[in-house]
Amino acid sequence: MDSLEKIAYTLLGFVCLVYLGVMLVGLIVAWPWGILGLIAIAGIGLLLIKVVSERLANDEDTYYSKNVDK
């Protein structure tokens, strides 16, 4: 990964965090209906954390991603 790619990912991550923050503020302002959006975002976040943690813990996936050519 070169330096331009790192800068691009950093900027993309920053924009995503700002967008998510603005979206959460908007959902809080739309109380009580915004709570449904907050619950949905929390559910998606938990599923994303689960998928990433399972992928990082799976040695077989790591082996095949490093050793098998496509």
Residue 69 has pLDDT above 80, yes or no: no
Domain range for 16 is 3-67
| pLDDT tens by residue, 26-65 | 888 888 888 888 899 899 989 999 999 998 888 888 888 8
Count structural domains, the chain.
1
Rg of the chain over all Cα atoms, to the nearest angstrom? 18
Instruction: For the chain, give the secondary structure using H, E and C.
Output: CCHHHHHHHHHHHHHHHHHHHHHHHHHHHCCCCHHHHHHHHHHHHHHHHHHHHHHHHCHHHHHHHHHCCC
Residue 68 in this model has a pLDDT that exceeds 90: no
Token digits of residue 29: 């302002």
pLDDT interval class at 16 (50, 70, 90): very high
pTM above 0.75, yes or no: no
Amino acid making up residue 29: V
- Residue 70 is predicted with a pLDDT of 65
User: Residue 18: its pLDDT value, please?
Assistant: 96
